[in-house]
Chains A and B, each alone.
Chain A
């Protein structure tokens, strides 16, 4: 039965690829799961030695999983990975179909899966992972995911069911994520060993001695930051335990930082890692992604020098700071899909001294049909009025209004205001923005998810990979 499903799936995948339909990463799995709902369990039963790493969080899943995959491959470990970002159950099943032999055998050591926020509990029903990384929770597509607290409580229930075989890696700087660990620890009581002290990772490798080994590890940043007040669009700034407003010793961005509760004294857990020597991508958000990936790989005893060389060789994932050359001009894509990710993109390109920006706002299902969130982005802080700004996408006028109200433009014509240009047709908008960009400069494109795929299709002929 399952061999047949794999055969069907591989055929569907092949057809999809040859037609450039881009459904090869979801359809085969979708078909297999609708014919055998235990397909994932069945395949894993045949491959008991395959270890699974799950990565979940609002932002950074794709980059973090690619970082882990790159490091593991540098360590000569064979990895399968849902690299196209198909992160629902059907995406996971599709990876198995595309990489298994007809006899359902997977000749790999590790499977690295990024997992959608809502799908994490469903995925945990199907498999017992070796590692779970929880990166962060920010407000994102409220029409689809619901509110941050809703997702957090779903996650809490899901990870409480995990046994001691699973190592949970958490972002200590995100109060709601850290709280998952604190509550897990309280629930498990003495059964759980103490977390590893921060100095621990100064040693070259993790001893296999069980008394120091923990199944709960935390990463976080110890940067000195100017601000001690969470940014506007922050959700988790009240104590998850007692609802008191949290205090911060430092804030890296949004609600992430060195937090403590003035009332119940809960505080950021001890960090197992807070810095590494190489950060392959600019931006504070990528520091967290790198720390998460390195922490996992260190706990697998991968040598520092292997990790370092992998980080130096790292190529960004599609749409995540990906560079595309178009007619000897350079375009760099910064997927910007929710307030926090947009703010981080803006801050990063601001630091890169961006002179030419194209923002593309869509309201399709993967983007979230509600575009209200653009008013939670801090354009006021990061947009220089001297920048060439072009706007496109399904909701380009909404974005135009947002930018207009972030600047001191009084009389704004519908198409052009100062250096702001609005063009509904994406192809024309890209051409216009490219034309305005001198050869020595970079055109930074900040698209929502479906817009990013459309931009890639126009620039490379392919939506995903």
Chain B
């Protein structure tokens, strides 16, 4: 088996150690003898390359860098949207997550249009409101996990059986994201702020696209989530159920547990 990962804007959208997510995809595939290719999609990439990917990843970035990206994606939005609607699996962190929404309202009220792929919007309430910063623990949505009752099951959710139901990470964002009806939250916030610090939701899921505020980076400490994404991508590509061989994850789970313990102290 083989898998091609498209890493969108690796040098512009990689501010918070987000490349760790790519390293985790690479290693967890290699350890299972799955051939993996990471395709770096830099400013000026062609949409043809995007079509050849099985899994997309885009990290967070500084504001100035997002302006450069917006310019580059302007002519590609249509195709990008189409690919996501055709169930292309993808993980979008922080700035990338916001970018996939309808718009981003800056602190001064200026509106930056988003790609309008995910039904959500983000607003920065202004300089008098603090950034949402800290360790975060969320409980994955049962619908996402495919653990809901049989009547609600979909072919998509069946492939999302995971061993653990929590995700840990570190969030650091000024914008508050509000979800529309077209998307589901990725999970419920147990400790931390999540999308907006108010409604208890974190992240968003649309078809096979996952948006989240979790840095840390997210995948090294949440190997079950990494495996879920790999599995979704392989099953879509090979059009059959695939069971990933288990890996020794004691170290990863210890790192996961470290954050859980840290946060329990503060509850």
Do A149 and B17 touch across chains, with their CB atoms under 8 A apart? no
- Count how many chain A residues have C-beta atoms less than 8 Å from C-beta atoms of the other chain: 39
Please give, as numbers and ranges, the residues of chain B lying within 8 Å of A238 by CB-CB distance.
Answer: 64-65, 68
| Alpha-carbon separation in the docked complex, A423 to B251 (Å) | 12
Residue in A232, A234, A405, A422 whose beta carbon sits within 8 Å of that of B24 in the complex? A405
Q: Which residues of B contact A232 (CB under 8 A)?
A: 11, 14, 19
Tell whether, in the assembled complex, residue A414 and residue B251 are in contact, meaning their CB atoms are under 8 Å apart: yes
The residues of A that contact B68 with a CB separation of less than 8 Å are 238, 243
Residues of A within 8 A of B133 (CB): 143, 369-370
A232 to B16 alpha-carbon distance, docked (Å) = 12
Q: Chain B, 50-82, contact with A by CB distance < 8 Å: what is the 0/1 string?
A: 000000000000111101100000000000000
Please, which residues of chain B bring their CB within 8 A of the CB of A405? 20, 23-24, 27, 220
Contact status B254-A374, CB under 8 Å: no
CB of A298 closer than 8 Å to a CB of B: no
Residues of B within 8 A of A414 (CB): 250-251, 254
Q: Which residues of B contact A235 (CB under 8 A)?
A: 15, 62
With a CB–CB cut-off of 8 A, which chain A residues contact B257?
A: 397
Q: Which of B17, B18, B67, B135 contacts A243 (CB 8 A)?
A: B67
A370-B172 contact in complex given A147-B15, A376-B17, C-beta closer than 8 Å: yes
State A417–B68 Cα separation when bound (angstroms): 43
**Interface residue? B139 (CB, 8 A):** no
CB pair A243 B64 closer than 8 Å: yes
The reply to whether the CB of A130 lies closer than 8 angstroms to some CB of chain B is no
Instruction: Give chain B nearest CB distance to A396 CB in angstroms.
Output: 8
Q: In the docked arrangement, what's the CA distance between A373 and B254, Å? A: 19
Please, which residues of chain A bring their CB within 8 A of the CB of B65? Answer: 238
The CA-CA distance from A237 to B62 in the complex, in Å, is 13
Task: State which of B16, B19, B247, B251 has its C-beta within 8 Å of the C-beta of A401.
Answer: B251
Interface: A148 (CB within 8 A): yes
Known contacts being A400-B254, A401-B252, A410-B31, is A370 close to B16, with CB within 8 Å? yes
Q: Does A45 contact B (CB under 8 A)?
A: no
Q: Is the CB of B172 within 8 A of A142?
A: yes
Question: Is B63's CB under 8 angstroms from A149's CB?
Answer: yes
State in angstroms the CA–CA spacing of A410 and B248 once bound together.
8
What are the residues of chain B within 8 A of A406 when measuring CB–CB?
Answer: 23
A402 lies within 8 A of chain B by Cβ: yes
Is B64's CB under 8 angstroms from A372's CB?
no
A266 to chain B, nearest CB (A): 16
CB pair B255–A400 under 8 Å, yes or no, is: yes
Query: Given A397-B258, A402-B220, is A372 in contact with B20 using a C-beta cutoff of 8 Å?
Result: yes
Asked if B248 and A373 make an inter-chain contact with CB atoms under 8 angstroms apart, the answer reads no
> Does A139 have its Cβ within 8 Å of any Cβ on chain B?
yes
Contact code string A382-406 (vs B, CB < 8 Å = 1, else 0): 0000000000001101101110111
- 0/1 string, B131-148, CB within 8 A of A gives 1: 001110000000000000
Q: Nearest Cβ distance between residue A226 and chain B, in whole angstroms?
A: 19
Of B11, B17, B27, B248, the residue contacting A372 (CB under 8 A) is B17
Can you give 23 A-B contacts (C-beta < 8 A)? A142-B15, A143-B172, A230-B11, A232-B19, A234-B11, A235-B15, A237-B11, A243-B64, A243-B68, A369-B134, A370-B16, A372-B17, A376-B19, A394-B258, A397-B255, A400-B255, A402-B20, A410-B31, A410-B248, A412-B250, A414-B254, A417-B251, A422-B251
Q: Which 3 A-B pairs have the closest CB atoms?
A: A375-B20, A372-B17, A375-B17
